[in-house]
Structure 1
């Protein structure tokens, strides 16, 4: 591979050889063949190196890190190693459909900004159901931070972005690296910080192009993340969030992590924080109380049963320019007791 490939694929992994080989297979099977696949092994892991050695494909490159630094650090390493103008991210437990990169490159070519972040819908696969997320595309004039966080119903996923759906200019991933040490909401954190640059916009392909495997019998960092650290994170993100978005994150994402404490003081503190710095809506209040009152497993089962019955009609293929979303001006957040959602 002397000439630069068209797309670099970055896959961070550690100690999951069966999963990462599945992810690599889906990347190498893309209809866009002029690619390189960079697997960043996040620490000593002979089993993964042995599994990857069996591919025998010159497009596959393995970068071995000397010690564990976490997925955000591994993605940053991969972006620095990338030789293509575009870098697509793939988590080791997800898969791509064969047309994923081809569709995204078409949207990238049609984008009206120099640095488009091209995402897509995905198929959320759980043991109980399969459904497409996000369930809708952004509305005209809708702030991106609200599209990605504010619910229109009791279940998340109206607006949504997930790491394995993201393709972005390699230069942008180097300019705005992932936040090392952040254990949850890594893609939301990166997307909002990247969109704070004037030459960046979000483009969403309406087709589901990724298989997102959820609730499999394996450890998930995202299920063990301390809520205190995530609360500190969202507080630092306030300049990039509208009051509606801030309230939605605190009353949904942070609360879902804190609710297992069953601590009334935490309940009151989060509710007060969302009201003081945000504008909760009626949906936010309903979400907040059901998170604290209904056990997580029961909530997940109800969600999957309700959403799994929905068979959304295939989305029409709009002009790719129609889904380009420059970040609108974010109102300055001031302390207060406004109540919204």
Structure 2
């Protein structure tokens, strides 16, 4: 177990010093440089054939590594993910509802969603088990947002790495305790990421990213010029009728109302459209 502390943190260091176990190695960075750098440092320090990641606010199930290594060795996969328990103030849910299929484009799986509700598709970092050689060849890029998607899409769709997903929930994703980069409302990093990855993403993945990821970031402001820009992009991408319906819902139905509808659907046991 290698714990990389992203910059001086006396409280974390003191707590870790209370653990007397030779299997634990702690590496405190002299300054904070973000999660991507911390992960890359951990990969460099590791010595095994496989590397698994665990963000500091997430949890693993006791059998996670054993089950994933068995699946990875049996399938000869490069990357093994899993389902997880999404834990929020509203309760626990098992995500993703729709599993990644081997050989599928990672970009299409993650971004070309069929519905609006979160949790339909997911490949989260704390579920990943990756062959170390691939992480050394392809480090995480330091991005203000979408670091996880960026790495997975590059690995699978560009470099041809094989990905499989264990169907059991083997981790817990704790959400709601604090605001993270992924929950900030600044849309600029998402626009920048889309422009940088256009050559990799299909038209369906690009249109899905515009509607599901970028449009909601404008919240109640909803500038008309931004809507016009998104519409122009969708026309150029020849977006499907489903995508236009999604845009109408994401742009014109208030987030609070969408959340109420999703909560009602969850209570009724119905999958959101």
TM-score normalized by structure 1?
0.74
Paired residue for 2:35?
Answer: 71
Determine if contact 2:79/2:129 at 8 Å carries over to the other structure: yes
Structure 1 residues 303, 196: CA separation in 2 closer, same or farther (over 3 Å shift)?
same
Paired residue for 1:165?
Answer: 127
Shift of 1:269: 1.0
Match of 1:283 among 231, 235, 242: 242
Paired residue for 2:18?
Answer: 54
Moved more, 152-161 or 69-78: 152-161
Shift of 1:109: 0.5
**Separation of aligned partners in 1, 2:156 and 2:147:** 14
Deviations, residues 98-149 of structure 1 (Å, cap 9, x unaligned): 1111110011111245xx1100111111111321111022357643321121
Shift of 1:198: 5.0
**Separation of aligned partners in 1, 2:244 and 2:202:** 17
**Separation of aligned partners in 2, 1:300 and 1:39:** 36
TM-score normalized by structure 2?
0.91
**Separation of aligned partners in 2, 1:279 and 1:201:** 30
**Separation of aligned partners in 1, 2:151 and 2:51:** 14
SS at match of 1:238: coil
**Separation of aligned partners in 1, 2:180 and 2:106:** 27
What are the ranges of 5 or more consecutive residues in structure 1 without an aligned counterpart? Answer: 1-36, 313-341
1:96 and 2:96 correspond: no
Deviations, residues 267-320 of structure 1 (Å, cap 9, x unaligned): 2112222332x34233322322222223334434543453465499xxxxxxxx
Match of 1:111 among 63, 66, 75: 75
Determine if contact 2:6/2:32 at 8 Å carries over to the other structure: yes
Superposed CA RMSD: 2.2
Shift of 1:166: 0.7
Matches within 5 A, 1:242-281: 242-276=202-236, 278-281=237-240
SS at match of 1:151: coil
SS at match of 1:75: helix
Deviations, residues 317-338 of structure 1 (Å, cap 9, x unaligned): xxxxxxxxxxxxxxxxxxxxxx
Shift of 1:213: 1.1
Paired residue for 1:30?
Answer: none
**Separation of aligned partners in 1, 2:115 and 2:158:** 31
**Separation of aligned partners in 2, 1:167 and 1:308:** 33
Determine if contact 2:102/2:163 at 8 Å carries over to the other structure: no
Paired residue for 2:161?
Answer: 200
Paired residue for 2:44?
Answer: 80
**Separation of aligned partners in 2, 1:288 and 1:86:** 41
Determine if contact 1:120/1:204 at 8 Å carries over to the other structure: yes
Determine if contact 2:113/2:120 at 8 Å carries over to the other structure: yes
